[in-house]
A and B are shown apart, each in its own frame.
Chain A
């Protein structure tokens, strides 16, 4: 019997460095490479630390190549870290104990686990055997999942005949059959249309609500993160640069605020800030964060203001600016 802490995942100073061969172009280089191979070190994950509680849903956000997938793979036991520690559901993930593997599940948007040429139900039966799920319980779980997500007609067709969206639904159900306590989702909505994305997010949220399983999700779609998680971890260049609520992200990193003013009469407001849009008496201004309050006060004092709102720019813009290095703290 091991102690159950509130934490599902504890990560401390996790680091992963890859050695990548260097390939030059040209015939001479190609011949040279017959004799001497050169490598360089790529630090994919650089000393990351965080905690995920049981039942929590956490989103991992970051540009391509940031280290999100590598981090998830280490926590699922697929990769050994170069340095650092992690404890997932009480186990060291890369030791890959079978008991541990039975309690986690992983779905990746671009990699499939179900057999291609046979209907999903047949692959599910195989998974039942692999995960050692008792038949009665398996039947019940499967029926419920099929009904809840309305995939009854999809599971009897060979997987290769399904569209990408249908395939993802069927894959996701496959991973939920053994009722994992922790679910890793690596870019699950990639390449899917908006309605399927919504359906998948609902699946995941529903699963979390019903079973209290923790969810770790990576995505570069803001919509996924916004819809599913309150907490977001931002990783760029292998480094964790933010861990907290989504709203805090904007507070911390956005450089600008938007002031939407409706005047009594059209006027030139370019002296107050950058004019983003102008439609008659309605003007949208961009001002630096620090000056937003002052500009608002001036507008009220000097202009005939009918209506005025101050807003943060959409999160996407903040994120974009963040990754381009404009908004580093």
Chain B
């Protein structure tokens, strides 16, 4: 048991180091990309601040301050929950590198997660100046209490794992079709609307907001942001984290079942 755990730990350490080293070469372009990525949240931030102002200081139950904080934390969480695109599965199958991965005694998912973990060590330091700059310009109000900060940290890690699982599930489609990009389009559209990426869920009509809170997209993005930017009781945070854990477990289970079928199909078709 311990031997297995330490083997995996070793693997993660080595592979994430590799991920870090290869990603560092792209840091210049990536930094530029990060700045480019700011377009989306800054626009949301500005528009909704304006709406709040026009309405006397709040919109959808959030004050202007909270709107600002929400979208700045948004930029951090967006970067922390990025993951290898499901389209990579299509490439892996087409190029035959999947066969190489299947030969190894470790599930390909670990490769993806470990490699991505390595890139995060480049991404976070690159984000810091951006976060600081945004903070200076827009002046958010952050809740830095212990429950909020730890809750945020745990929520973000779970969000990353969850989003990775969702991506991997979409990636399974590559075993059956070449239209993975179409599926991705649908996924991203749903994510935009239901995860809290477009707007905080409380901006929606009640029915839609409640429904969205039950779905995994919210747990893979918006929830973590809200822990850091909106006042939440310790209980609310714990319940939310519980829901995140629940979704992670559920999707891993689903993946395990579908994966076995997919690999069987792959071996039958390509040998």
**A residues engaging B (CB < 8 A)?**
27, 30-31, 33-34
Contacts and interface: CB of A to CB of B under 8 A. Distances in A.
A27 B18 CA distance: 9
A34 B27 contact: yes
A27 B27 contact: no
Interface string B215-256: 000000000000000000000000000000000000000000
List the 4 closest A-B pairs by CB distance, nearest first.
Answer: A30-B21, A30-B24, A27-B17, A27-B21
Given A27-B20, A30-B21, A34-B27, 7 more contacts: A27-B17, A27-B21, A30-B20, A30-B24, A31-B24, A33-B24, A34-B24
10 contacts: A27-B17, A27-B20, A27-B21, A30-B20, A30-B21, A30-B24, A31-B24, A33-B24, A34-B24, A34-B27
A290 to B, nearest CB: 54
The interface size bin for chain B is under 10
Judged by DSSP, the binding face of B is: helix
Interface in B118-164: none
Contacts of B17: 27
Contacts of B21: 27, 30
A34 B20 CA distance: 12
Nearest to A23: B25
A120 B130 CA distance: 49
Contacts of B20: 27, 30
A27 B24 CA distance: 10
Contacts of A31: 24
Interface string B3-39: 0000000000000010011001001000000000000
Nearest to B27: A34
A27 B17 CA distance: 7
A31 B20 CA distance: 9
Contacts of A33: 24
Contacts of A30: 20-21, 24
Nearest to B24: A30
A317 B20 CA distance: 47
B175 to A, nearest CB: 26
Nearest to A25: B21
Nearest to A26: B21
A145 B158 CA distance: 65
Could you say which of A30, A31, A33, A34 has the most chain B C-beta atoms within 10 Å of its C-beta?
A30
B72 to A, nearest CB: 25
Contacts of A27: 17, 20-21
Contacts of B24: 30-31, 33-34
A24 to B, nearest CB: 11
A33 B27 CA distance: 11
